[in-house]
Amino acid sequence: MTKNEIEEMQVQKNITKHVDNFNSFRFNAGAGAGKTYALIETLKYVTINKIAVTKSPQKVACITYTNVAVNEIESRLGNSDTVHVSTIHVRLWEMIKKAQPQLLKCHKYKIEEMIKQNDEKLSDTNNKNTKFFAEMSKEQKQEFIEFSKQTKELFYQSKRLNAELFRKAYKNNTEINKPVFLDKCLNSVDKFKYVVGLLYKKNRLEACLERIASGEERRVDYDSKVNADRLHYMKFSHDTLLEYGLKLVETYPTLCRIIIDSYPYVFIDEFQDTHSNVVKFFKAIHDYAIKNNKEWMVGYFGDTAQCIYDDGVGRDISVLHGDLVNVNKVFNRRSHQQIIDVANNIRADEIVQEPIFEDRNSGLVSFFHHDSEDKLAIAKKFLANYKNDLANEQSCTDAKNNKIHCLVLTNKLMASFNGFEEVYDVYGKSIIYYNDLNTQILSKQLEKLHPTVLTIYHLVKIYKNIQIGEVSYYDFFGVSGKNMSFSKASLVIRELENKEITSLKDWVELINNRLENSDVKKELGKAIVNRINYEPNTANSKGVFREKILDSINTLMNEGSEDEGKAKEKVASVLELPITSLINWINFIDGVEADDISYHTYHGTKGEEYKNVAIILEHNFGRNNKDKFKNYFKVVQQGVEERKAFLADPDTVEKHINTQHLLYVACSRAIKNLRVLYLDDVSEIENGIKTIFGESKPWPVG
């Protein structure tokens, strides 16, 4: 056993010592340090030495960031009834779901806040969408409200019509009493729809409050399948779960005691990406345990330098949960020395890594630059050259050793390489803010996807699974299929087998047709409710499924749009997306990789490791991050005083750190071979590049 391996064992002993003493701690280690291994060993230690020996009914909670990570930990840990491994949302819900009276109070307060926000919008004369309503007299407002109630059915029947037809639907209806000022209200149909939508939302929320007050509603539930609150249905989504959980432990000490008694040991993987409300949640429990002399602890495992998400706590964990014992690890089990040197140059903090194994010293790092307008073509040639070089190496005789994992900055480039550029282009014209496209349409964490995008994902996933025969009956029907006959279930799936589907529209129409005309429409309705999580009535009434899909797509593409014609075009552009392109998109989200070259965004490689890595760099990171990497290398090449002056602005510091973390994550994925291609002029930043990577060469060489 080497000296480094002995020291590594000592780090693990330090962790177990803190476990023995119920000292909450933060384990901070660089990329490739074996954080998951350390976590697994800690879980095994607690299971054997703390739970099993005492025959305690208590459990150990292990919380990680993604379902993929959950599966990995469970597979490495083996079968264990003692350790409950899950994402934070699953575990948090298990911890608080029985506190229904308290949850009901949280929910009631949330609804009241939403109504208040609604009222503020409706009374805001500076809001262009609500100004016409806000400037009405009190009497006119009341008349408009009553009118909207009486015409609710007409509104939803006409909602998808263009502006001209929408106006005619109201003006030509002789069965309703119209306010004299209606014509003025209909000058902008889009604003009219917006205000009426707010009024209907307020009505739904107020009706829900009445049901809660009367005792009709006594339970509120977390909905894991959608990324938006449905408060009037007594359902809430991911962010609200964190909000409710924090409020409960801060307000109801009894819940802290129950959690402590159930889970005396809690371990959190990838703490740097954890939401601040999660850290505050466990900090509140920690404080309760200290105050009441309870034996309880939380252990955070992660790396502050790999915080690349806006909602991750990163280094702020030391502020949010300050009374933690720090345990650092500097050994790297993944990479060769040459890769580690680059990673150390980037992070430049207290974690200076070295390889745990003495023979890890034959890696290769190469940095190239090429200034060209046709970046896609150059990148493809660069990768082809890389592939040929690997194939010519005597040590690389199999596909695994030859495979290249290419990390690209721009989502568009990555989408193009992976065969779903059309999908990306269409989603890019949606209401999703440009900087959020990565998380809301490309995230492999489904809870981060935009609600409509998630619906389309599930919808296309049904098609893919059916066509390639990968769908199980339970996965398809859920608990609703418990009493369903095998023949009925098989018939439902056969009804949806259609190789002629070419677009999303074809698929929606096929499902809608089967829901209306099939002998198994009831059973199909159950499947749709299970997989997409629509309300039961969505899938058993004529045309309701189609309209629900269209409304959802319209919400994604046209919120606040004034041009009705353009709005219809945007909805159509989603429906016309080729099913093959959509399947390529969900394959990317699901991590289905190609055989020779796989393409990823920087964000999408968190936690991964690859023998051969190619990184495509540019000055810009999308259109709203101009000169992101150019500025980073400019700072790196400056002297100490110049750097301090440049980083005096907090916003500049935040951008610099984010860029640093992104580059660190990307470079540290490599085990042995790392090639970087910078697709812009590097003459102004050559010294910065040299500081991190060493020599920079033009490409093609020679």
Calculate mean pLDDT across residues 510-519. 86
**What would the two tokens of residue 702 be?**
């020679």
pLDDT given for residue 362 in this prediction: 94
Alpha carbon distance 179, 504 (integer Å)? 42
Q: Give pLDDT tens digits for 203-246.
A: 999 999 999 999 999 999 998 877 789 999 999 999 999 999 99
Q: Which residues contact 304 (CB under 8 A, 6 or more apart)?
A: 28, 272, 314, 315, 317, 349
pLDDT given for residue 393 in this prediction: 75
Identify the residue with better confidence: 446 or 578: 578
Alpha carbon distance 74, 71 (integer Å)? 5
Buried b (16+ CB within 10 A) or exposed e, 273-295: bbbbbbbbbbbbbbebbeeeebe
CB 102 within 8 A of CB 252: yes
For residue 484, the one-letter residue type is M
Q: Decide the pairing of beta strands 235-236 and 221-222.
A: parallel
The answer, yes or no, to whether residue 472 has pLDDT greater than 80, is no
**What would the two tokens of residue 678 be?**
């910078």
Q: Give pLDDT tens digits for 65-74.
A: 888 889 889 9
Q: Which residues contact 181 (CB under 8 A, 6 or more apart)?
A: 136, 140, 144
CB 258 within 8 A of CB 290: no
Alpha carbon distance 82, 79 (integer Å)? 9
Q: Please list the alpha-helical segments (H only) found in 576-649.
A: 579-590, 628-636, 640-646
Alpha carbon distance 702, 697 (integer Å)? 10
Calculate mean pLDDT across residues 105-111. 97
The answer, yes or no, to whether residue 563 has pLDDT greater than 80, is no
Alpha carbon distance 608, 534 (integer Å)? 34
Alpha carbon distance 135, 179 (integer Å)? 16
Q: Give pLDDT tens digits for 126-147.
A: 999 999 999 999 999 999 999 9
Lowest mean pLDDT among 296-305, 566-575, 619-628: 619-628
The count of other CB atoms within 10 Å of the CB of residue 257 is 16
**Smallest Cα–Cα separation from 71: which of 443, 479, 591?**
591
pLDDT given for residue 316 in this prediction: 92
Alpha carbon distance 583, 600 (integer Å)? 16
pLDDT given for residue 400 in this prediction: 62
pLDDT given for residue 356 in this prediction: 93
Calculate mean pLDDT across residues 405-421. 87
DSSP class of 601? E
Query: In percent, how much of the chain has pLDDT > 90?
Result: 62
Alpha carbon distance 245, 103 (integer Å)? 9
The answer, yes or no, to whether residue 358 has pLDDT greater than 80, is yes
Q: Where are the beta strands (DSSP E) in 223-292?
A: 235-236, 265-269
Alpha carbon distance 63, 274 (integer Å)? 10
Calculate mean pLDDT across residues 585-614. 87
pLDDT band at 526 (very low <50, low <70, confident <90, very high): confident
In 3-state terms, what secondary structure has residue 243? helix
pLDDT band at 38 (very low <50, low <70, confident <90, very high): very high
pTM: 0.80
Q: Which residues contact 507 (CB under 8 A, 6 or more apart)?
A: 459, 460, 463, 501, 579
**What would the two tokens of residue 672 be?**
């042995």
Cis bond leading into 700, ω under 30°? yes
State the residue for tokens 């990306």. Answer: 424
In 3-state terms, what secondary structure has residue 25? strand
pLDDT given for residue 2 in this prediction: 83
Alpha carbon distance 28, 10 (integer Å)? 15
pLDDT given for residue 12 in this prediction: 96
Alpha carbon distance 366, 237 (integer Å)? 45
pLDDT band at 617 (very low <50, low <70, confident <90, very high): very high
DSSP class of 180? T
Half-sphere exposure of 615 (CA within 13 A, CB side): 26
State the residue for tokens 């023979």. Answer: 359
The answer, yes or no, to whether residue 160 has pLDDT greater than 80, is no
Alpha carbon distance 137, 293 (integer Å)? 61
pLDDT band at 256 (very low <50, low <70, confident <90, very high): very high
**What would the two tokens of residue 617 be?**
């760099």
Calculate mean pLDDT across residues 471-495. 79
Element (H, E) at 246: helix 238-251
pLDDT given for residue 534 in this prediction: 66
pLDDT given for residue 165 in this prediction: 86
Mean pLDDT score of the chain, rounded to an integer?
90
Residues in a beta bridge with 230: 235
The answer, yes or no, to whether residue 669 has pLDDT greater than 60, is yes
The answer, yes or no, to whether residue 623 has pLDDT greater than 80, is no
Alpha carbon distance 439, 377 (integer Å)? 27
**What would the two tokens of residue 339 be?**
């890769």
pLDDT band at 616 (very low <50, low <70, confident <90, very high): very high
pLDDT given for residue 46 in this prediction: 96
Identify the residue with better confidence: 563 or 320: 320
pLDDT band at 399 (very low <50, low <70, confident <90, very high): low
Calculate mean pLDDT across residues 478-491. 80
pLDDT given for residue 397 in this prediction: 53
pLDDT given for residue 74 in this prediction: 92
- Rounded (5°) CA angle 573-576-578: 125
For residue 467, the one-letter residue type is Q
Alpha carbon distance 16, 639 (integer Å)? 42
pLDDT band at 394 (very low <50, low <70, confident <90, very high): low
